[in-house]
Chains A and B, each alone.
Chain A
């Protein structure tokens, strides 16, 4: 019972970014495209706002950033590390807990 809910929608980009970076390293533009693809465009965000989230995760030690030159352009690729995997596991279980709680509330008869 001591568990508190994570920030609601504000935690969603973080969760999605960690989940996508678990699969492979990506740069910002690639990540936004992947979010749109995997969520069926259900989540729409100003694309620039992912950078503060990425930088904060990097600063917190969850991500590693690496500059790479690809097709004549230098890009910053982000990849998940061990701390990031732990954070992803924690966020996933928190999200599933909230999701099942909300589903139970919505499905319960006569609660409205």
Chain B
């Protein structure tokens, strides 16, 4: 019964940006705590069903637990902690870095630049040759 509830708590926390590692840990500790409360209630003479609901009540409303967790921004993944960086600065940085990537790659490996330059010059020469032939054919006819 409560396993299902912790699944809901897990989903809610994950959707709210709490880091998965932290969500799994808190759910695991809550589950252990619930089990301790259930065993304590059984030792005190409650039936299995009563012990279960007694334990759930003592653990507290899971919405309140979720609220308390969400109050701590340090548990969230960095995308949720720094939304401006994730939504504005990072795309801008990518937009700047991606066109510059061939330059950086060429600086790191100069032979690529030489080959790229030679290929560019060759293709330029071929294109110029084609234009020249076309011009000559127009002039001669």
Contact = CB atoms under 8 A, between A and B. Distances in A.
A and B: bona fide binding partners = yes
A73 B75 contact: no
Interface SS of chain B: helix
Among A46, A48, A75: residue with most chain B CB under 10 A = A48
Interface in A22-60: 27-29, 32, 45-49, 51-53, 55-56, 59-60
Contacts of B22: 55
Interface residues of B, number: 22
B21 to A, nearest CB: 11
Contacts, number: 64
Contact of A28 (B32, B72, B74): B32
Interface string B8-50: 0000000000000010011001101100110000000000000
A47 B33 contact: yes
B23 to A, nearest CB: 11
Contacts of B3: none
Given A46-B59, A49-B68, A52-B68, A59 B33 contact: no
Contacts of A76: 25, 29, 32
B81 interface: no
Nearest to A28: B33
B32 A75 contact: yes
Nearest to B62: A48
B65 A46 contact: yes
B69 interface: yes
Interface in B41-79: 58-62, 64-65, 68-69, 71-72, 74-75
Contact of A48 (B59, B71, B72): B59
B75 A55 contact: yes
A29 B58 CA distance: 11
A28 B29 contact: yes
Nearest to B60: A46
A49 B64 contact: yes
B74 A48 contact: no
A70 to B, nearest CB: 11
11 contacts: A28-B32, A46-B59, A46-B60, A48-B33, A48-B59, A48-B65, A49-B65, A52-B72, A55-B22, A55-B75, A59-B75
Those 5 A-B pairs whose CB atoms lie nearest each other, nearest first: A46-B60, A29-B36, A52-B68, A48-B65, A48-B60
